[in-house]
Amino acid sequence: MIKLCYYMEDIVINHRLIVDAQIFERFPEYQALIVYAEGIRNFPSTAESEALLRAAEQACRATLTSDTLLQHPHINAWREAYRLFGANPKKYPSSIEALLRRTLKGQDLPSINGLVDLYNAVSLKYLLPAGGEDLDTLVSDLHLTYAQGNEPFVTMQDGQEQAIYPEAGEVIWADTAGVTCRRWNWRQGRRTQLTEGTQAAYFVLDRLAPYPSETLLAAGEELKAHLLRWFPACTITIEVLQKV
């Protein structure tokens, strides 16, 4: 595993994201583009952030249908990856497949806040899983790893926060306090969610072959450009985690 930094400012990030070697052993072509953003201030959804989301939805509807989605090579790559670690992709779709399913049914995605609108728009535009979380809520480095099954994952059930646990062998993002995202990119937890008070964030853009690495980098550059326009004084660090 290496960290390739192709854009880095002079900042100190207390906790970083790491892909464990076991993940690369099974998924050697996996790449994770990580965008760290500090000196920001998240905000409620605006006309601009919602317009980004709606434009991405319309572009998807113009080129895809619910039927062609199932044959798309980038979607199928994630389906196969989920099967390899024991998850049923029909029951637990990757985040990009879940977004596309909803979008192609004609349903608009909800506007949550500026940063969530942004990463959802990038995810749809580039047809890749993308997510973001609050960097300040991490208590250690964050690892993409296989679950032991005893790591708590805080979610909402029946209107209340509740800790549940992943299945052993499930691919998770976790720090020493517990799971932040289950089944690779299927569902994020509440502890690290982006809120309107978020002042530092990290974003994860996932790539599996045959998705072009160049397109992954382009998606990261677009995300960075929006962040710099919204927060001109912020500092951005981008890393690509991959096997060599």
Please determine, for residue 71, whether its predicted confidence score (pLDDT) is greater than 70.
yes
> What is the rounded average pLDDT of the residues 161-186?
98
pLDDT of residue 11: 54
Give the tens place of pLDDT for each residue, 104-125. 999 999 999 999 999 999 999 9
Unique residue bearing structure tokens 């760290």: 36
pLDDT at 7: 42
What band does 4 get if pLDDT is binned at 50, 70 and 90?
very low
- Which letter does DSSP use for residue 136 in this model? G
Per-residue pLDDT band for 6 (boundaries 50, 70, 90) equals: very low
Give me the residue spans of the domains in the chain.
2-242
Helices (H), the chain: 21-26, 47-63, 66-69, 73-84, 95-104, 114-126, 213-230
Answer for the pair 42, 193: CB distance below 8 angstroms, yes or no: no
Q: Report the range of poorest mean pLDDT among 9-18, 44-53, 61-70, 104-113.
A: 9-18
Going by pLDDT thresholds of 50, 70 and 90, the confidence category of residue 12 is: low
Confidence check: pLDDT of 1 > 70: no
Q: Which fold has domain 2-242?
A: Phenylalanyl-tRNA Synthetase; Chain B, domain 3 (3.50.40)
What is the residue-averaged pLDDT of the chain? 95
Question: Using 50, 70 and 90 to split pLDDT, how confident is the model at 8?
Answer: very low
Position 229: which residue type? R
Region 43-47: what's the mean pLDDT? 99
Here the contacts of 81-90 (C-beta below 8 Å, separation 24 or greater) are 81/27, 81/184, 81/208, 82/183, 82/184, 84/26, 84/27, 85/26, 85/146, 85/169, 85/170, 85/171, 85/184, 86/167, 86/169, 86/170, 87/170, 87/183, 87/186
Q: What is the mean pLDDT of residues 211-236?
A: 98
At 158 the pLDDT is: 83
**Lowest mean per-residue pLDDT among 78-82, 153-157, 194-198:** 153-157
